[in-house]
Structures are given as structure tokens and as C-alpha cells.
Amino acid sequence: MSSSQPAEPSARAGSAEAAATRPAAATQPASAAQPASAAQPASAAQSASAAAARSASEGRPSRRVSGTNAWRRIAVLAVCAVALLAAVAASLALGVRGMDPSAVWQALLAPDLTDPDQAVVLQLRVPRTVIGIAAGLALGLAGTVIQGVTRNPIADPGLLGVNSGASLAVVLSISFLGITSPLGYIWFAFAGAAGAAVLVFAIGGAQPVRLALVGAALTALLTPLIALVLLRDTEAFNQYRFWAVGSLTGRDLSTVAILWPFLLVGVVLAASLAHRLNLLALGDDVASALGQRVGATRALAGASIVLLCGTATALAGPIALVGLVVPHAARRLVGSDYRWITAAAILLGPVMLLAADVIGRLVVPNSELEAGVVAAFLGAPVLIAIARSRRVAGL
């Protein structure tokens, strides 16, 4: 198992030690319930094994532990849901144009487009909020599935070559087909993202490390091709550079209206995979010994990743770090059971992307920073904090 991981986690962060020295870790059923297997180096893998063992066996002590934990996790999810509501409210109410909260309320209940405030809310802020929710959800969930299926803690849509695939397709559509509107890009972005993901899974196939390597290789192949087109075609570059930042603006609700079926299927697939990912965290051999058809899991996970990444990139352009940070944050909050991680990621993805968008509106006077830029700046400290924590480890 350790040889299949790209980087071995620190042997020091053994879970017994973590449980002994860190109060928060004691709430983990894994580290509390499994004192004996300290020989395993990967504490998170160990947590996962404990979680799966717990869900498999119905022994009384572990059930009691999981009972108290379930309440804690539900509380965490409730907090996440409140955060999501707050983010939505902020996204509707805050912006370059200051306005009374009552105007926002009015716009939602009894729309009056002649009022300029209400028009801003309805025509600008509602679409970007909806797009932010959809794209954030897709990214967070995609990241969760990717990390689960590759067992690679640095796996995210960007690393699997999805963003570069979408970028290349958009660049080609601008340069050779003369398409110039975000609405026109969406199918190219979707096709590019999906094509890249399919290619990566086709070559990377069964092996986690290989999947990540193939993704990196594909990115390394496509990035210079993109640059090649852009260096020769100034006009295409001029169009592309605004898409490449990653933003929730300049699109209207019709993009969501077109793409929601893909999103829905992707979400349902990802949610139904959560239990399979728990078993997969134990390694392919153990998972198949426990009766799981690992190949089928990978195929389904691949399909959901393709759908989710394609939707997110088509909606908002290439957005960095949301897909990487959200699963890590969710894992920190609710433990290593993928059923809970999935639920938390569904809430946290939109929170993060909407927060990035709102902050981007407020941080520069009378102007906006694109959500993609802010998301990177928001995500990096979170990622660093997670990386610095004791329990950082393989998955």
C-alpha cells in the first residue's frame, strides 16, 4: 500500500500519537477505536480502515462511538449549511453597488425591474450566485471523488489535466471558429474537460499514482500547445485571457439551464460512490477481497468526475484549488468516512466559491477581482493549514 502512494506520509503522525496529543483527534473514531495497529504509517489510511471496519461490523462499542460522532458530524454539517446560506445572502446583498438589504428582499419576492437596485440583484447577482453554487458544488465533489479514487492527497481537477483540456478546447474554438462569448465556449469547455478526463482515465487506468502522473503529463502536453496558439494569434489571446482567469460573471442563467442535467447525474453518481470509496481507501486488494468490484468503482468515479469537472469548467472557467481544498477541509471536519466527506463537500464547495466571489467584489474599490484569483488566495492558506496539521497523510 505504501508503495502505491506517491509520497509516503510522515511516520511520525501515527494516529496513536495524534489521539494522545490532540484533543480534536480523539473525536475521530478511527484513532480512538484502533489503538493496536500503530505499525501502519499512514494515519489517515488507518482511520479509513477503522471507519470501514466500523461500518462493516456492528459491534457495540464502535456503534456507541459512531453514535456520538454522528451527532457531532450532523452539527458540523448544520454549521456548513448555515455558512452556505450566509454565503448566498452575502452574494446577493453585497457588491460594488451598495444597496439596502430590503431591496434585495424585494427583488426576490416582488421583482420590479424598473428599480435599478433590483435589476442589479436579479440580472447580475442571482445568476452569478446560482453559477457559483453549481460550479462550487461540482468542483468540491469532483475533488472528493478524485482524491478518493486515486488515494492521492494532491489530486484535484487541475492535476488530472481537466482544466488544460478545457482551456485548449476553448482556445481552439476562439482561434479557429471565432467564437467570442462565454455562452459559446461552454460546449467546448465541457468537451475539452471531459475529453481530458476520459483520456487520463483511459491511460492512467487502474493505478492511483499513474493516474496523477498521466494528468500531469497531459497538462504538460496541452499547456505549451495552448501557448503556441496564443503566441501566434493575438486576437484569440485577447479573448482567452479573460476566460482563463476563472470568473462567475459574464454568464447568465442559460448556462446553468443547459448544464444542470450533467451536474445532477454527476452529483448522484458521486454520492452513490461514497461507500465504495471508503472500501477503496483500504487498497485495491482489500476492497476487492471485501466484495467490491474495483474496476466498476473506478469507471463510475471516472464518469462522475468527467461530468462534474466538465460542468464546473464550462460554468466558471478553470478555477484553482477549490477542488483540492474542499475535500481536505471536509475530511478535517467530519473524519475519514467518505459518506460524510461527500455531504460536507457538497456544502463547502459552494461556500468557498461564493465567498471568493463576494470578497473579490469588495476588496478592490469600484472594481472586481475574479473569483478564480480570490479562490486561489483563499484556498492556499487553508491548504497550508491542513498540510501543517499533524494528521496530514495519504488517503
Partner 1 sequence: MRVAADHPSQAPVAVADVRAVVAAARGRHRRRHILIVVAALAVAVALALAALSFGAAAVTPDRVLAVLFGGGERLDRFVVLELRVPRILAALLVGAGFALAGAVFQSTLRNPLASPDILGIAQGASLGAVWAILGLGAGGAVVAGFAFGGALVVALVIWLAAWRQGLHGIRFVLVGVGMSYVCGSTVAWLLARSDVRQAQTALHWTVGSVADVRGPELAVLAIGVAVGAAAIAVMSRVLPALALGDDHAAGLGVRTDVARLALLVLAVAVVAVATSVAGPIAFVALIAPAVARRLVGGGDAALAASTCVGAVLVLGADVAGQFALPGFTAPVGIVTGVIGAPYLLWLLARTERTSRA
Residues that bind partner 1 (CB under 8 A): 3-4, 6-12, 153-154, 158-159, 203-204, 207, 209-210, 212-214, 216-218, 220-221, 223-225, 227-228, 230-232, 234, 237-238, 241-242, 244-246, 320-321, 324-325, 369-370, 372-373, 375-377, 379-380, 383-384, 386-388, 392-394
Contact 335, 320 (CB under 8 A): no
| Least distance CB 325 / partner 1 (angstroms) | 8
Nearer to partner 1, 4 or 66 (CB): 4
Nearer to partner 1, 127 or 394 (CB): 394
| Least distance CB 36 / partner 1 (angstroms) | 20
| Least distance CB 162 / partner 1 (angstroms) | 14
Nearer to partner 1, 4 or 106 (CB): 4
Contact 117, 103 (CB under 8 A): yes
C-alpha grid cell, residue 93: 446583498
Question: Which three-class secondary structure state does DSSP give residue 209?
Answer: helix
Nearer to partner 1, 226 or 274 (CB): 226
DSSP per-residue string spanning 70-133: HHHHHHHHHHHHHHHHHHHHHHHH-SSS---HHHHHHHHHS--TTSHHHHHIIIIIHHHHHHHH
| Least distance CB 254 / partner 1 (angstroms) | 24
Q: Of 19, 65, 43, which is closest to residue 336 (Cα–Cα)?
A: 43
User: 178 CB contacts (<8 Å, ≥6 apart)?
Assistant: none
C-alpha grid cell, residue 34: 484502533
Nearer to partner 1, 101 or 224 (CB): 224
DSSP state for residue 10 in the 8-state scheme: P
| Least distance CB 93 / partner 1 (angstroms) | 25
Nearer to partner 1, 108 or 231 (CB): 231
| Least distance CB 265 / partner 1 (angstroms) | 28
C-alpha distances out from residue 255 to 127, 185, 225, 367, 371, Å: 9, 10, 27, 24, 17
Question: Which three-class secondary structure state does DSSP give residue 201?
Answer: helix
C-alpha grid cell, residue 18: 495524534
| Least distance CB 56 / partner 1 (angstroms) | 28
Nearer to partner 1, 84 or 200 (CB): 200
| Least distance CB 203 / partner 1 (angstroms) | 5
The Cα–Cα gap between 331 and 65 comes to 18
Nearer to partner 1, 60 or 388 (CB): 388
Q: Of 236, 201, 196, 190, which is closest to residue 220 (Cα–Cα)?
A: 196
